[in-house]
């Protein structure tokens, strides 16, 4: 009888600690994005989305997310060369042309976040993402050269990692998002694979107590 009581007591403690809960939520924030292996600078934009937090214990939460994310880069870019003939020397001089490019890449992101709680407030997160390109836009100066700049692959894969601090139903998060597929093409130059690199700072709100 004592063994049965002890078993029920221990089972009750384990069940309380391993209680599974599910809570939906929304999040939004600022993207500071860059296209790697280019001369373009970082670009500020935003992300917004929703998630479902499946808490499987005190330490671990599985959190699928669906997010709209605006990324890209802008700045000076190589725009080919021009050969200028000098009749006095009977020779050509090569001039390297540059201009500015504003590249906007917009994705729908499916992310599987694995959240690990250090304590009641502080947590780390990591997980893979699957991005689908839904829109792209390129602006150049001089104008009329947009056709030489384009998106890369329509699908981007990679990983997200970061830290968060939660209080009540609100959390503040800092994340890094790194893609592995080719995201951007400059037809004037040959370069290694250009990937998305995004630093994110935002807030999340979880519904329910």
Q: Tell me the mean pLDDT in the region 133-144.
A: 93
What domains lie within the chain, and their CATH numbers?
18-72+103-206 (2.40.160.20)
pLDDT at residue 54, as a whole number: 95
188 pLDDT more than 70: yes
Q: How confident is the model at residue 4 (pLDDT cuts 50, 70, 90)?
A: very low
Look at residue 2 in the predicted model and tell me its pLDDT: 42
pLDDT of res. 87:
77
Q: Distance between CA atoms of 77 and 56, rounded to whole angstroms?
A: 48
Segment 19-29 shows an average pLDDT of 94
pLDDT digits (tens, 9 = 90+) for 108-137: 999 999 999 999 899 999 999 999 999 999
Q: Which residue has the higher pLDDT, 44 or 191?
A: 44
Of residues 10 and 201, the one with the higher pLDDT is 201
Tally of CB atoms within 10 A around 50: 15
pTM of the model: 0.84
**What tens digit of pLDDT does each residue of 85-100 get?**
777 777 777 777 888 9
Backbone angles phi, psi at 66, to 5 degrees: -130, 120
Average pLDDT of the chain, as a whole number: 88
Nearest CA to 149 out of 139, 157, 159 is that of 139
Determine how many CB atoms are found less than 10 A away from the CB of residue 190.
Answer: 6
Q: Find the Cα–Cα–Cα–Cα dihedral 14, 15, 20, 21, rounded to 10°.
A: -110
Q: What is the pLDDT of residue 7?
A: 41
pLDDT over threshold 70, residue 208: yes
């Amino acid at each position: 009888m004592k063994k049965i009581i002890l078993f029920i007591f221990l089972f009750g403690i384990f069940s309380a600690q391993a209680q599974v809960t599910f809570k939906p939520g929304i999040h939004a924030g600022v993207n500071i994005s860059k296209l790697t292996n280019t001369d373009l600078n970082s670009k500020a934009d935003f992300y917004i989305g929703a998630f479902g937090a499946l808490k499987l214990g005190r330490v671990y939460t599985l959190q699928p997310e669906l997010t709209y994310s605006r990324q890209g880069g802008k700045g000076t870019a190589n725009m080919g060369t021009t050969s200028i003939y000098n009749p006095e020397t009977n020779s050509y001089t090569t001039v390297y042309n540059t201009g500015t490019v504003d590249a906007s890449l917009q994705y729908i992101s499916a992310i599987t976040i694995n959240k690990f709680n250090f304590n009641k407030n502080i947590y780390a997160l990591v997980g893979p993402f699957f991005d689908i390109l839904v829109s792209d836009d390129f602006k150049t100066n001089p104008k009329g050269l947009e056709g030489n700049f384009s998106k890369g692959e329509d699908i981007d894969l990679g990983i997200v990692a970061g830290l968060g601090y939660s209080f009540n139903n609100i959390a503040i998060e800092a994340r890094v998002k790194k893609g592995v597929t080719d995201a951007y093409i400059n037809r004037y130059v040959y370069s290694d694979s250009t990937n998305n690199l995004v630093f994110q700072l935002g807030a999340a709100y979880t519904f329910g107590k």
